[in-house]
Amino acid sequence: MEIVIILFDGVDELDAVGPFEVFENAANAGADLDVTLCTLNDSERVTASHSLEIGPTVPLGDRVPDLLVVPGGQWSVRGGTGAWTEAKRGDLPDAIARLHDDGSTIAGVCTGGMLMQRAGVLDGRPAITHHGAVEDLQKAGTEVVDARVVDDGDVITAGGVTSGIDLALHVIQREFGSEIANTVSKQMEYKRRGRVQHNSWLLISVRRWLLLFSPWESRIKIVRHVSPNLGSPVTVVL
């Protein structure tokens, strides 16, 4: 499994490094995965939100990873760096949309979910983000779910900061089984908490079909009408 964590200046340190450590520990525990820190440009390092320099990184280029992890950071600051600036600039949302179209699963940590929203990959999908950006996500028309991690198949989102560790552990459990996930959790002395909403394959499949074949102006209305009547999502309490 190829995993890319995309970085940018102003990224929150733990949003990126937390999942990175989970994935690296999972690989050491036997998971067949590689994780790479990437940027959209040729910069070998980024300066994170608390001034920590993270690197080395490599250009994303034409990679199409199995999983793209999108961290957040500085959404509410709205200065010269951070998720807000990246959303306004547009290059990162464009890359997210392209990779999703090409088959990558997209996972957003914290306000990385807002970058996913700007990319259009949360249209008609349930999601969560940092509590400070929930109102922005709702105003954008996304169905906000009260959960620590929301797994909608090829789109996964998590709440703020430390929720990224829970997201990464959930991905490891989903892809490689609970034994490796529990091994990593124990090694990191991290007790998973909160609720994981994992939607059923039927609900996810119908959503995808509706989004592909319904007239664009009615897609979101149809998804929101049909979804509650297909049956309840599977909820995992950790």
pLDDT in tens, 196-229: 998 855 455 555 555 555 554 444 444 444 444 4
- Dist. CA 50–CA 160, nearest whole Å: 16
Percent of all residues in the chain with a pLDDT value above 70, rounded to a whole number: 84
Tell me the residue ranges of DSSP E strands in 162-205: 195-198
> What pTM value is reported for the model?
0.85
220 part of a folded domain:
no
Whether residue 129 lies inside any domain: the answer is: yes
Length of the chain: 238
With a cut of 90, say whether residue 18 has pLDDT above it.
yes
Over residues 49-69, the pLDDT tens digits come to: 999 999 999 999 999 999 999
- 238 within 8 A of 192, measured Cβ to Cβ: yes
In a domain, 142, yes or no: yes
Residue 119 lies in a domain: yes
Question: What would the two tokens of residue 27 be?
Answer: 């690989």
The answer to whether residue 78 is domain-embedded is: yes
Does residue 215 belong to any structural domain of this protein?
no
- Identify the CATH number of the domain in which residue 94 sits: 3.40.50.880
Can you give the residue range of the structural domain that contains 138? 2-200+233-237
How confident is the model over 80-101, as pLDDT tens digits? 999 999 999 999 999 999 999 9
| Domains identified in the chain, total number | 1
Determine, yes or no, domain membership for 209: no
Q: Does a structural domain hold residue 114?
A: yes
Asked if residue 135 lies in contact with residue 96, where contact means CB atoms within 8 angstroms, the answer is: no
Q: Across all residues in the chain, what is the average pLDDT?
A: 89
